[in-house]
Structure 1
C-alpha cells in the first residue's frame, strides 16, 4: 500500500509539472502573437524567462525562504537538543545529509523543509511545535520533512515557485505593454479575432491556473510525505497523533503567503471564513491525511 501510494503520487507530480511547462509555453505563445505576431518567438522568450527565474530562485532558495519566515538558525545540539537529535536521527534513517536547522519564534505549531537538493537542505520548526509535540510526534513531523528532502519535493516546490513567478512576469509584461498602447502591427485582413480573444483570455486566466497547479502539486506531495514519515519512523501513530494536534492550531502570526505551501499544515488555515476559500487550500484536509494513514 505504501509503495503504491508513493508511485501514484509521483506520477501525479509529473503530470502537474508538465502542466506548468505547457502553461508557460502557452502564455509565451499568446504574448508573442498579440504583440509581435510570432507564437514561436513568444514561446522562446517565455522559456528563457522561466529558465532565468529557476536559476536565480533555485540557487538562493534556502536563504530566501528562511529570510522570508524570520527563522533563527541553530548550529549545535546545545541550542535545541531534542530538535537537533530528532532531525539528525531522521536524516540518518532517510540516508540524506544533516540539513541546516532553524527555529521560528511563533506559538503556532508548524514546520517545513526547503532547499535545492538534499545536500543543501534546511528544516524549520516553530517554537509552538516544539512546545506541543512529544518526541514520538516530533519524529513523525521531522520524518515528514525528511521525506520532502529525500524525494526532492523541496526542489519541485522551488521550481513551481519559479515557474509561477515567470508566469506572473509574463502576464505583467503583457498588461503593462497593452496599457501603454503596444500591440502587433497587422493589416485588418490578417487579424484573427478569435485568436486574439483567446490569447487575451489565456493571459488573464493564466495566474489562476498557475496557482491551482501549484496547490495541486503541494497537496499531492503532502500525502506522499506523510507516507514517507511512516516508512522512516515505522510508527504511524506518531504521525497521526501529530496531525491530530495540528488540527487545533491557530494561524501563524507573520507567515509569508509565498511560502505557505511549504509548511506541514496550512499556516493561515484558521484565517479563512468563506467556504469557497477552501478551494484554494495549499494542503489536503488534515482529516483526509489522517484517514489515509489509518488505512495504511
Structure 2
C-alpha cells in the first residue's frame, strides 16, 4: 500500500515537471484526490447499495439469511452486519462497509433460494471473513488509489491538450520529462488496475480459506460455488466498478483460463477455488 501511494506521488511529480507546473501540480492532485478519498471512505457503502439496487432484508421473509448471519457473526466474534437483499435471480453475494462496526452483507434472492442452509453458511462465512480481514476497507482504499491514478493521468493529458505547457523550456531534460509523462499517463491506469485486480484475487483465496476455517466445512462453500457457477443468470445491475465485491464474478466470464484475460479478472478461476476447498 505504501508503494502504491509512493507510485502516485511519483506520477504527480513527473506530470508536474512535464507540464511545467512543478510542485503545484502535486498539490492540486492531492487536494482533489484527498477529497475523493474522504468521500469514498465514508459513503462508498451507501453508493454500492444504491448502484446494486439492494434493499434492507426482512427478518420474516429472509429468516435463514438473518439467523445464519447472526450465528456466523457470533462464531467469528464480529458484530452482526446489516443485511440487504437484491431482487435478482442470479445467485451472488458481497460484503461492503468501512469496518466491522459498519459492515453490510448483501445477498441476491437467487442465492437465498438456490442454496441450502449449510451452503448459505459457507457463503456468509466467506463474506464475514472479508469483513474480519478488513478486505472491504482494503479494497475500498485500493479502488480509490486506482481512481486517483486515473484522475492524475487524465488531468495531465487534459492540461497538455487544452492548456499546453506552463513554460517554454525546450531543454532536453524538459523534453524527456514530457515523453516520460505521456507514456506514464497511458500506461499507469492500466498498471494500477492490474494491481487492484491481483489484490482482489488474492483476497478471495484468503476469504475462502478463512470462511472454511470458520464453518469447519470447506465442502459447504465448494458446493455453493458450484451452484453459483452452474446458474445461467447474470446479475442485472452488475457493473465493472462493483464486480470485485461479489463472491463470484457477476459477468460469468468464460475466458478465465487464458493467461492474458486472467490478468483482468476480478476473481481467481472458480475451478481452482473449488479444488483448493475440496483438498482442505
TM range (shorter): over 0.9
- SS at 2:236's partner residue? coil
Q: Which runs of no fewer than 5 residues in structure 1 stay unpaired? A: 1-16
Is the CA contact (8 Å cut-off) linking 2:95 and 2:136 kept in structure 1? Answer: yes
Is the CA contact (8 Å cut-off) linking 1:28 and 1:45 kept in structure 2? Answer: no
- SS at 1:113's partner residue? strand
Taking the aligned partners of 1:101 and 1:179, their CA distance within structure 2 comes to 47
Taking the aligned partners of 1:22 and 1:280, their CA distance within structure 2 comes to 23
Taking the aligned partners of 1:274 and 1:227, their CA distance within structure 2 comes to 22
Q: How does 1:124-135 map to 2 (within 5 A)?
A: 124-135=106-117
**What TM-score do the two structures reach when normalised by structure 1?**
0.87
Q: Give the aligned partner of residue 72 of structure 1.
A: 55
Which segment drifts farther, 96-105 or 271-280?
Answer: 271-280
- SS at 2:83's partner residue? strand
Deviations 1:209-241 (A, max 9, x none): 111011011101000000111111111110111
Q: How many residues in Structure 1 have an aligned counterpart in Structure 2? A: 278
Whether 1:241 aligns to 2:218 is no
What is the CA distance between 1:105 and its match in structure 2? 1.0
Taking the aligned partners of 1:187 and 1:132, their CA distance within structure 2 comes to 66
Q: Give the aligned partner of residue 93 of structure 2.
A: 111
Q: Which runs of no fewer than 5 residues in structure 2 stay unpaired? A: none
Is the CA contact (8 Å cut-off) linking 1:110 and 1:126 kept in structure 2? Answer: yes
**What TM-score do the two structures reach when normalised by structure 2?**
0.92
From 97, 117, 120, the equivalent of 1:138 is 120
> What is the RMSD of the two structures over their aligned residues, measured on CA atoms?
2.0
Q: Give the aligned partner of residue 88 of structure 1.
A: 70
- SS at 1:284's partner residue? coil
Q: Give the aligned partner of residue 19 of structure 2.
A: 35
- 94 and 273 in structure 1: CA distance in 2 versus 1, 3 angstrom threshold: closer
Whether 1:184 aligns to 2:166 is yes
Q: How does 1:1-296 map to 2 (within 5 A)?
A: 17-38=1-22, 40-74=23-57, 76-189=58-171, 191-250=173-232, 251-270=234-253, 276-296=260-280
Taking the aligned partners of 1:80 and 1:274, their CA distance within structure 2 comes to 36
- 139 and 203 in structure 1: CA distance in 2 versus 1, 3 angstrom threshold: same
Taking the aligned partners of 1:182 and 1:192, their CA distance within structure 2 comes to 14
